[in-house]
Each structure stands twice: as structure tokens, then as C-alpha cells.
Amino acid sequence: MTIKITINFVLLLVVVGLGSCKKYLDVLPKGSKIPTTLADFEALMRDEYGNHRAPVTQAVLLLNDRWESQGNLNYYPLWKANYYWDESVNRINLNLTDESAYYTAYAAISTFNLILQYAPTATEATEADKNMLIAQAKLARAMHYFILVNYYADTYEASTAASKLAVPLIESAEVDAPHRQVTIQEMYDHIISNVTSAIPDLPVQGATIVHGTKGAAYAFLARVYLQMSDYDKALSYANQALAQNDKLFDYTAYYQQYKTQIEQAGMYPSLPTPRGYDYIENYIMMHGEVIYSKREWYLRVDRASRFETGDAMLASRWKIRTVGADTYYYAITTGRFNEGGITTTEMYLIKAECLARKNDYTGAMDALNAVRVKRIFAADYTALTAASTKEALDHIRRTKENETLFGIVAFGDMRRFNKDPLYATTLTKTENGTTLSLKPGSHMWTMPIPLGAIKNPGNGTIQQNVNQ
């Protein structure tokens, strides 16, 4: 699949500088030629860097799901505040220069709004082709709104969602179009309405892995409804997604394939990641912080300890290494990673949680073990059982936290469980001999909306969702 798409007819103004005087809404495609044909609009859908990227860096750092060097932490003060769980720091002020999740998402939303607004009159296309592209734009836009509402607003709770603010809802590609900062409930309603209306026009197979399909839409709705704690609907959509694709990648076989290179003492290979465009588990691809081919993020030693004994996925992706005073799990796979998209593993684990919530512990463990048998070495594998909802969910959470590293799902799940005293978790770690902790009720679990957006809200108003 071609990574860098050249679009001669349009130049997308992608990210508004956080210190710039420009309004954050001024992300309208401009250029020497206005898109007119369906092929023109479809090229926008293929723009991976502009439209299929989800840099949720601060969430990953807050979870401590990746190891970061002291140099990076000192250079980026917002990174340091989140990584060290420093509640005394005013992150609103730091977020003037350190954040990109907001602007990346709204730049993509602006492009999808352009497609939705003008593709209905595109030339050189059948009505079916136009409807398919419009449906794919609806799904892609909804995925970005889901990231925004789970990053910059409180987690969904039915009792408060209608009274707490989320983020601006923008449905027009026009500069200075009016907008409104909607409630969390309104944003979820908008997301669900858009995706359900798109499903009839989505294909079973997309032109590429960034093009939405029926399976991707079902899978995304399963994710959304799980975040809303609507287990019946989440289970229904997870099953529909698995009916489209239920394949699981075998990491035990992958390890055996590269065993000699992995186990060679003192060597840190660059193995081809299976988690790229052709990953058999993919429903839809969305890049993380970057899209170029790179080495995967490193893991903290204490984070690696939360994997099961005999986890072939851990052994295949990271290898412990000491460089100077730093010890961490060094990444040994390279390529492009589906950190922001959706996979079959997530659907199996959503299914497992929903069944556990409905007291079907056997069904829940069957779904979980279907994943685990592809991850745990045979010598270490034992099928898990559960006799209570909590026991089942503890098993499921461990696997899911490891499977959803570096994306919005791990962050959203932690926030969701933190609202329930039975499952709330206080994160702890030791840094330079000092014990640090992050409590479930900390204000740090909601990221501040960038100050640049607050000061330059376009044709509307934006209220900050946190105090610092």
C-alpha cells in the first residue's frame, strides 16, 4: 500500500500552530483545483498522514505504557507532568505548545466534512460509489470524535453525560461555520447515529485498510457501546464484527519463526511487525503518533511485568536491555503499526467482558482463551476459568490492557473501570527511589483542551473541561 499520497489538486492546511493567531477551525482544503470528481474526493480518504492518525501521546504517557528517556521528559514539560503524575503542574498552560491530538483530529474531521458536504454532487461516479465514500467518511469522522470525547472530556456515565461538556461538534467544512460544544451524551448520540446510518452503504471489503467496511463499523460500535456500559448492544455488534472477520494472529508461531534472532544474546533484531497493513486481525487501520516505518515504542520494566508468564507476544515484540543507567524493554519489531484502528482481538475481548457482565463465565472465558491460546507458549498455557464477574473481568482486563497498548482503548478502559469502586485502580511506581501514585479520581485522567483552541475558538465558544 502506498504510504505517501500525493494530492496535486488540494493542499490540506493540517495543523494550526498552537501559538498561532489562526483559528483552529481554519483547516479547509485549499489549492489550485477544487475537487469535483469522485476520484478527487476519494484521494482525500487515502491521505493517511492527514486523516488516519491518532496521536494520543499524553494518554499513553499517563498510563506509563511506554518507557521514555529523561531527555525527552525534560524537553517536553507536558510529557514530564503526565509521566510522573505531577498533579501540582498546571497542564493547561503547558498544553499551549505540547499537544497535537486535538488539532490532528479536527484537521481530519474538516476533510471528512468536505467529503460529506460536496461528494454528493461529485462527477464521474455512480450513486452507489458516492454513497459508499460518504459512508466511509461518516465512520472515519466518528472515530476521531470518539478519540476526542474520550481524551478531552470525562468518561461516559449515563447519569451525568447529558450535563457534562465534551468538545465542539463541527459538521461543516466552511471556514467560520458556527459550532457548539456539545455534551458527552450529544457527542455519543452523534457518533452512533452517523455510523449506524452509514452501515448499509459500506462495503464488505474496502479498497484499502483505511477505507471503512461493514466489519469496521460493527467493531467500532461495539467499542462505543462498551464505553457506554451498554453490554447488550456491545455484544451484538462484537458478534456481527466477528461474523465478518474472526481471524487471530498466532504469536507463538511468529516467535518460533524468529526464535534464533530473538534469543541471540546481546542482539536486538529489527523483525517485521505483523501489526501493519496486512495484519490478519485488522478491521480498519489508523496510525498512532507517527505513520512512517519505525521501531515500536519501548516498554517500562514494571509495565512488562503485567504480561502473563509465557506471553509470546511480549517475547516477540520486546527484549530487555540496559543502556547506561536505563533498563527497559527494547522494541525488536519495526514497521507501521495499527495503534489507532480496530482488530479482531479487541472484539473477542469485548465479547468476553459483555458475557462476564451477563454472568456467562464459561462463554466469557471461551472468548478470552481463544485469544490467549494464540499468545501464550504451549508450555505455559492453561485455559482460564472464572467463578465470578470480578474474577472473569480481572482475567480479561490483563489481556486487553496488553493487547491495546499505545491507543485510546487502553486509556478509555482504565477511565471506565475507575468509575466503579470494585474495579478502580491506583497506579503506582518507583522513580529514583520515590514512590509515585495516580488515583482513580485524579483530574489528570482528563486531558486539558489546548489553550490555543480556547483562545481562538472560531465561530463558537469552548469551555475548558479541567481545572489544570
pLDDT score of 21 more than 50: no
58-89 per-position pLDDT tens digit: 999 999 999 999 999 999 999 999 999 999 99
Residue 168: give its domain's CATH number: 1.25.40.390
Residues 6+ apart with CB under 8 A from 348: 238, 242, 246, 248, 367, 368, 370, 371
How many domains does the chain fold into? 2
Distance CA 187, CA 142 (A): 9
Q: Nearest CA to 168 among 196, 195, 144, 203?
A: 144
297 found inside a domain: yes
195 and 257 together in one domain: no
pLDDT score of 25 more than 70: no
466 found inside a domain: no
116 and 265 together in one domain: no
Strand-pairing partners, residue 294, are 335
pLDDT score of 437 more than 60: yes
403-412 per-position pLDDT tens digit: 999 999 999 9
135-152 per-position pLDDT tens digit: 999 999 999 999 999 999
332-372 per-position pLDDT tens digit: 999 999 999 999 999 999 999 999 999 999 999 999 999 99
Average pLDDT over residues 281-309: 96
User: How many Cβ atoms sit within 10 Å of the Cβ of residue 386?
Assistant: 19
48 and 184 together in one domain: yes
397 and 274 together in one domain: yes
224-234 per-position pLDDT tens digit: 999 999 999 99
Q: Which residue has the higher pLDDT, 401 or 21?
A: 401
Percent of the chain exceeding pLDDT 70 equals 93
Percent of the chain exceeding pLDDT 90 equals 88
* pLDDT band per the 50, 70, 90 thresholds, residue 3: very low
Residue 390: give its domain's CATH number: 1.25.40
Cell match 463558537: residue? 460
pLDDT at 4: 32
Instruction: Tell me the residue type at 376.
Output: I
Cell match 512488562: residue? 304
Cell match 469552548: residue? 462
65 and 144 together in one domain: yes
pLDDT at 26: 39
104 and 186 together in one domain: yes
pLDDT at 33: 61
Whole-number average pLDDT of the chain? 92
pLDDT at 96: 76
DSSP state for residue 120 in the 8-state scheme: G
Measuring CA to CA, how many Å separate 58 from each of 102, 142, 417, 435? 11, 21, 19, 21
pLDDT at 98: 61
317 and 191 together in one domain: no
174-211 per-position pLDDT tens digit: 888 899 999 999 999 999 999 999 999 999 999 999 99
309 and 388 together in one domain: yes
135 found inside a domain: yes
pLDDT at 175: 84
383 found inside a domain: yes
262 and 367 together in one domain: yes
Q: Nearest CA to 65 among 309, 298, 277, 333?
A: 298
Average pLDDT over residues 310-322: 98
pLDDT at 1: 37
**Distance, first Cα to last Cα, the chain:** 42
| Residue 415: all three cell numbers together | 477511565
Average pLDDT over residues 412-421: 97
Average pLDDT over residues 36-58: 95
pLDDT at 448: 96
15 found inside a domain: no
Q: What's this model's pTM, rounded to 2 decimal places?
A: 0.92
Distance CA 22, CA 335 (A): 35
DSSP 3-state of 107: helix
pLDDT at 99: 76
Domain with 364, as residue range(s), is 248-284+293-335+341-403
Where are the strands (E) in 399-463, listed by range? 427-431, 434-438
256 and 195 together in one domain: no
413 found inside a domain: no
269 and 391 together in one domain: yes
12 found inside a domain: no
157 found inside a domain: yes
Using only C-alpha atoms, the chain has a radius of gyration, in whole angstroms, of 22
pLDDT at 30: 45
pLDDT score of 16 more than 90: no
| Residue 30: all three cell numbers together | 485549499
275 and 175 together in one domain: no
